[in-house]
Each structure stands twice: as C-alpha cells, then as structure tokens.
Structure 1
Amino acid sequence: MNGQLFISLLNPGIGLLFAVAFFLLWLNRRERYVAYAAGAYTATALAFLIQDVGPVLPMELQRLPANFLFLITGVLFAAAIIKRYALPVPWRTMAATVAISIAVFLWFLLASPSIAARILSISIGAGIIAIMVVVALWPIEKRHLIDRVLFWVAAISALNLIVRPAVLLSLHGGFDDYVGFQQSLYWTTVQFSQAMVSIAAAISLMVAVAVDQIAELRREVDADNLSGLLNRRGFETQAATALRRCLEERRSVALIIADLDRFKSVNDNHGHAVGDAIIAAFGAHVRLIGPAEMVAGRIGGEEFALLLPGAGIEAARQLAEAVRTGLAAACAGRIPASLCPTASFGIAIGAPGTGLPALMHEADQALYEAKRTGRNRVRAFAPKPVRSANGG
C-alpha cells in the first residue's frame, strides 16, 4: 500500500469506525440523535471512498454523489446535535441549502467547468448547515462543559468549511484538473482538517451520549416511580443545591412539606391500591400546577416536600392552598367516589445560613401545627418569641 492510498483510506476508515461505534450506541440507547450520528459517519465514509478510491466516470460524474454525501454528512450531524437538545431540526432549510449547493455544483461541473467554484459551492453549503447548529445552540443554557464543546465544534467546523477554501483557493489560484487537485496542498489540508474535525466531533458527541446516559441513570436512581416526583435521596440532593444557590444569590426560597391525612386508615379500609392511587394523583397534581423551578419529592410513605426557589411566604401559601383544594379533583376517577382525601401543609422560609435539614425541621413543625389544629389546612412556621433574661 503506497502512501497516497493510505491517506485516501484514512477518512473512510475513521468514518466507518465511528459509524459502527454510534450504531452500537444506538442499539443500547435507541435515541434518534445517536442514529443520525451513525448515518453522518456512514455518509462521510462513502463520500471519501467515492471521491478518492472509486472508479472515474465520464465527465467526472462520480463527484456528484461524493459531494452530495458530504452535504448529507453535514445535515445528519447537524440534526444529531440539534436533536440531542430536543430542539426542532430545520430540515427544510437544510434541504434547500443542499439543493442550491448541488445545483451550483452541477452548473460548474457540466455547463461552466470550474473545480474552484465546485469546491466553494459544497464547502459554503456545508458551512451554512454548520452555522444552523450554532444558531440553534446559541440561546440555550449550556449546563455542562460538553455543551460548550459541542457548540464550539460546530462553530469551528463552520469556520473551517467557509474560510479555509476561500483562503487557500485565493492563494493557489484554482486547479486545471483533478490530478492537480488531489495532489495539491488544498486537498491535503482538507483530508487532514476533516479527519481532525471528524474525530473531535465524534468524541464530543460520544461524551455527550455518556453524559446523557449518566443523567438518565441518576434520574432513575433519584425518582419515585409511584408519585412521579423525586425520592427522598433525589430531593435532598437537588433541594440542597437549589437552596444554596438561592441563598448565595440572595433570592427568597420557601419549603412546603405536605402529609396526606389519615393515610393509614385509607390503606386499612380501602386497600393499598387506593392509597397508591392517591399518592400518584398527588404527584401528578403537584407537577401540573407547580412552578418550573420547583424541586418536588416524596420523602416518606405519604409525605411530600416542595422547595420553591424565588418564592416568599405568600407564593408558597398560594401553591399549598392550590394543591390542598385541588387534591380531591385530582383523585377523581382513581378512587371510590365516597372517599375525599385531604392533606396538611407546613411552610418554612429560608434565611441566610439556613441549611436544608434546619429548613425541613421548621416546615415539619408547621406541618405538626396544621395536624394539631384539625388537618386539611396550611400553616407557616413561626419562631417562638425569645424571652428576655429577666423574664419580661
């Protein structure tokens, strides 16, 4: 195998390896964006094989499927990144970009032959598709390092596709034939830069897949399947983080602890299936009316906790009352019509230096007061007045 053939097989080999890797990942996760990535690397491998290894057709027509596949590579990889964030994929805009690029390519292949113009038509088209990824990812919150890496991979890819050919062609002055083109500094640069970008993009997306897998496993570990809320472990972890952030940012924060009234009696008299239905209805009701930032969990058999970043006492009281008054309606159709479930609520407000255990203790005290004064009501924690030293 001579050196030129080895270089020609480098990008197809990289593409096929990553296509297989993403296909195996897709078999495990069944996420559509992973399948798009597998398709993208299959397309790029085929494109380089047709371009560098395949037979030469009359009028260099083998260039048409090769460059079409280069554009499809960009489309599928853009779709993979955008779809990972559950954003709408701009299929129509990308299809129009591909169609225009191919039309311009055909013109400079058949009507007015120009290798330089054909290079620019495909590179600029692929660059525009990469820019669509940058535009889609620009406004979203990038919580993890890998989110920023994916953004910059797309940005660098767009820059590489648009600026590189313009600079190198202006320095080189064009090509007379494909023999000169494939032996040129430009094509060597393309093969090297494409290999680097392909590897960087694949590794970045694989890390993103791993991050998503870990997050999914963490959600499963932290979830309470019956209520659809967090379990105690998940609630305490997320609530402690949210509470600390609120206190650092000097934002108000409230904690509500709720307890289903006479729940043991419900289980004893109506069966555990009815008790489970009430818990499921409570969780669904809370998820429906709770604010977006709320951290909600089932922290005991029939006990729930809701942390409300940015909420003061009145906002917390309004939510607690909405949950309390809407519980019976939320349970309708799930439990016997004669049964009217109720819940009691305790509220505490975070103060500077307050940790989650202390805040939960205060909310528990308020909950105890709601139970003591008749149940099915909301009470807020009120610190006991401190007596003076002389007892006055």
Structure 2
Amino acid sequence: MNGQFFIQLLNPGIGLLFATAFLLLWLNRRERYVAYAAAAYTASAIAFLILDVGPVLPMELQRLPANMGFLATGMLFAAAIIKRYDRPVPWRAMSVTAAISIAAFLWFLLGHPSIAARILTISIGAGIIAAMVVVALWPIEKRHLIDRVLFWVALFSALNLIVRPVVLLSLGGGFDDYIGFQQSVYWTTVQFTQAMVSIVAAISLMVAVALDQIAELRREADGDDLSGLLNRRGFEAQADAALRRAQSEARPVALLVADLDRFKSINDTHGHAVGDAIIAAFGAHVRRIGPAHMIAGRIGGEEFALLVPGASIEAARQIAEAVRTGLQAACADRIPANLCPTTSIGLAIGAPGATLSALMQEADQALYEAKRTGRNRVRTFTPKPVRLAAGA
C-alpha cells in the first residue's frame, strides 16, 4: 500500500464518519432533513469507495454507479438543507437534472468515450442541483449566522462544481486514461476541495441541528401546551425584549390583557374538559387573527396577555374587539351549544420609558374596569387626572 491509497480513503472515511454522526442525531431527533443528511454522506462514501477502491469492471462500468452516487449525494444534501427550512424539495427538477447528466455520462462512456466530457456532465449536473439550494434559500430571511453559512456553503459548492472543471480542464487539457486522470492536478483538487466542502457542510448542518434542538427546548420551556401560546415566563421574556426594541425605535406598543368571564362557574357547571376546550379555542383564535409580530401568552389560568409592537390605540382596539367578538364562533365546535363564553379585555398603550410591569398594571386596571361595568367588553386604560394643590 502506498500513500495514494490512504488519500483515496480520505473521502470515504469522511463520508462514513458524518453519515454515522447524522444517523445518531436522527435517532435522537426524528427530523427528516437529518435523515437526508445521513443518507447523503452514506451515498458519498459508497461512491468514492466504488470509484477509488472497488474492482475495475469491463468498459469501466464501475464509473456509472459511482457517479450516480455523487449525484444522489448532491440531491440528498440539497433536500436536507431545503427541508430544514420547510421549503418544498424540488425532487422532480433534481431528478431530471440527474437523469440528463447520467444519460450524457453514458454517451461519453460508451458511445463517444471522453474522460473530460464525463467530468463536465457529472460536475455541472451536481452544480445545478446545488444551485437549486441557493434558489430555494435566497428569499428566506436569514436571521442567524448559521442560515447565512448554509447559504454560502450551497453557493460555493455550486460554483466549485460548475466553474472548477471548466477552468482546470481548459488549462490542463483532457486525459488519455484513468491513470493519468487519477494522477492529475484536477483529481487532487477534487479530493481536497470535496473533503473541505464535506467537512464544512456537515459541521454547518450539525450546528443547525443543535440550534434547532435548543430552539425546540426553549419553546417547550416557554410554551403553554393547552393554549398553544407562550406561558407566563416565555411571554414576559419575549414581551420585555420587544418592548425595549420598540422604545429604542420610538414605536408605540399596545398591551391587551384578556380574562375569560365567569370561568370558574363554567368549570363547575360543565366540567374542566369544557374549560380546557375554551382555553384551547381562545389560543387558536388569537393565533389566527393576531398580527405575525404579536407576542401572546397565557399568563394565568384563564388570563391572557397580548403585546403588539407598533400598534396605535385604534389598531389595538380593533384587535381587542376581534378577539372578543370572535371567541364564541371559535369555540362553537368544541363546547355545548347552549354555552356562550365571553371575555373581558383591558388595553394599555406604553408610554416612553414604561416597563412591562407598569404596562401590565395599567392593562389590569382597564381589565378590572371592563369586569366592573358588565364584562364582555374592552376598556382602555386612562390615567387619572393630576389634581393640583389648592393655590397652585
């Protein structure tokens, strides 16, 4: 065995290592995109083993499954990245691209043999598949560094696969046989760049998996399972951050505090299952009608808080009225027909420098006023007029 043999084992070894790592991640986190990544690195390892270590078949036919493996690697890894963002995977477009590449490869293998042409057909096909990832990720808001890293990995991979063979083959010419090909600068470049791209891509996706896991744990810790909204801790953390951002941008902030009317009586009369159904319906109703940037949480048994950054008092009242008037319809298919749940809502607008605690107190006062004046209504907090001292 010489040094070249161990170099040939580099990419299969990397592929098997990362395939195992992603498989273990998938066993712990049953996300489809993680399974795609494990399959992609398995296909890569098998393809390199067939190409570099496997036996030579008549008419060099071992090249066919190897290059099919490389295209499968590109398709599966593209699917892994795209699926992470819940975007539709372009399986048909990728399959057509791979089929055309394989058809051209067979022609340049059996019909009109040309090593250089075969390199171009497979490499450009794989590059087009990588470019589909770039197209899929382009319109997505890249909130975190890892989102930008994955985008740039896909872009570099596409450019590397399409531009590299064209440049190197134009500079170095073609190859007379596979011995010359495997000893060429081009193949050395392929071995090195493929190893680097594989490592960077795998590490980037693993970091993404870890961040997704952390985000899921945070959602579980900060979420309320029954309503589907945030729990009190989650609401206060997110609302406080949103309030501070809005104040730094000199934007208004509205806080709505809603309380389900006579909820204890509902539980006592109809049972806790009906009460739970109303809470679940309220949460679904709020998520459906509220603006995307609204922060909503269940902060008590039957009490909810909604923070709406950028909302004026008029816009906040419209949201509050939509929540109030739409509750009965939202509950209709979940509770007895003779039950008509209602909610009272207190509304407050954040003054410059107001804390979340102060805003909650103001909204609570408005809620108390809504309850005191008959329930099933919206009241807005109004500061008490300042009384001047006599003689002032």
TM-score class, shorter: over 0.9
- 6-15 or 98-107, larger mean C-alpha shift: 98-107
- Deviation, 1:28, is 1.4
Q: Partner of 1:192 in structure 2?
A: 192
* AA at the equivalent of 1:39: A
* AA at the equivalent of 1:37: A
CA distance in 1, matches of 2:206, 2:223: 25
- C-alpha change, 1:391 and 1:188, in structure 2 (3 Å) is farther
CA distance in 1, matches of 2:92, 2:271: 55
Q: Partner of 1:145 in structure 2?
A: 145
SS at match of 1:255: strand
Q: Partner of 1:240 in structure 2?
A: 240
Is residue 2:275 matched to residue 1:292? no
Is residue 2:71 matched to residue 1:87? no
- 78-87 or 14-23, larger mean C-alpha shift: 14-23
CA distance in 2, matches of 1:334, 1:61: 64
Question: How large is the RMSD of aligned CA atoms in angstroms?
Answer: 1.4
Deviations 1:47-97 (A, max 9, x none): 101110111111211111111111110010001000000001111111111
Paired positions, count: 392
SS at match of 2:9: helix
* AA at the equivalent of 2:276: D
Q: Partner of 1:156 in structure 2?
A: 156
* AA at the equivalent of 2:14: I
Q: Partner of 1:30 in structure 2?
A: 30
CA distance in 1, matches of 2:328, 2:173: 78
- Deviation, 1:287, is 1.6
Where in structure 2 are the equivalents of 1:115-134 lying within 5 Å? 115-134=115-134
- Deviation, 1:174, is 1.5
Where in structure 2 are the equivalents of 1:1-392 lying within 5 Å? 1-390=1-390
* AA at the equivalent of 2:108: F
CA distance in 2, matches of 1:390, 1:295: 45
- 112-121 or 79-88, larger mean C-alpha shift: 112-121
- Deviation, 1:364, is 1.1
CA distance in 1, matches of 2:391, 2:277: 52
- 330-339 or 61-70, larger mean C-alpha shift: 330-339
CA distance in 2, matches of 1:63, 1:267: 71
SS at match of 1:344: strand
- Deviation, 1:291, is 1.7
CA distance in 2, matches of 1:339, 1:108: 75
* AA at the equivalent of 2:330: A
- Deviation, 1:7, is 0.6
SS at match of 1:224: coil
Deviations 1:306-357 (A, max 9, x none): 1112221112111211211122222224333333221110111123222221
- Deviation, 1:142, is 0.9
- Deviation, 1:262, is 1.9
Deviations 1:120-155 (A, max 9, x none): 111111111111111111111111111111111111
**Unpaired runs of at least 5, structure 2:** none
- Deviation, 1:250, is 3.0
CA distance in 2, matches of 1:128, 1:391: 83
- Deviation, 1:25, is 1.1
- Deviation, 1:389, is 4.8
Percentage identity across paired residues of the two chains: 83
- C-alpha change, 1:391 and 1:22, in structure 2 (3 Å) is farther
* AA at the equivalent of 1:165: P
Instruction: List 4+ stretches of structure 1 deviating above 4 A.
Output: 389-392
What TM-score do the two structures reach when normalised by structure 1? Answer: 0.96
CA distance in 2, matches of 1:334, 1:162: 57
SS at match of 1:59: helix
- Deviation, 1:241, is 2.0
Deviations 1:210-260 (A, max 9, x none): 111111111111111111111001111111222222223333321110011
What TM-score do the two structures reach when normalised by structure 2? Answer: 0.96
CA distance in 2, matches of 1:70, 1:249: 50
* AA at the equivalent of 2:255: L
SS at match of 1:6: helix
- Deviation, 1:204, is 0.6
**Unpaired runs of at least 5, structure 1:** none
SS at match of 1:4: helix
SS at match of 1:340: coil
* AA at the equivalent of 1:103: A
- 330-339 or 17-26, larger mean C-alpha shift: 330-339
* AA at the equivalent of 1:255: L
SS at match of 1:347: strand
- Deviation, 1:391, is 6.2
* AA at the equivalent of 2:109: L
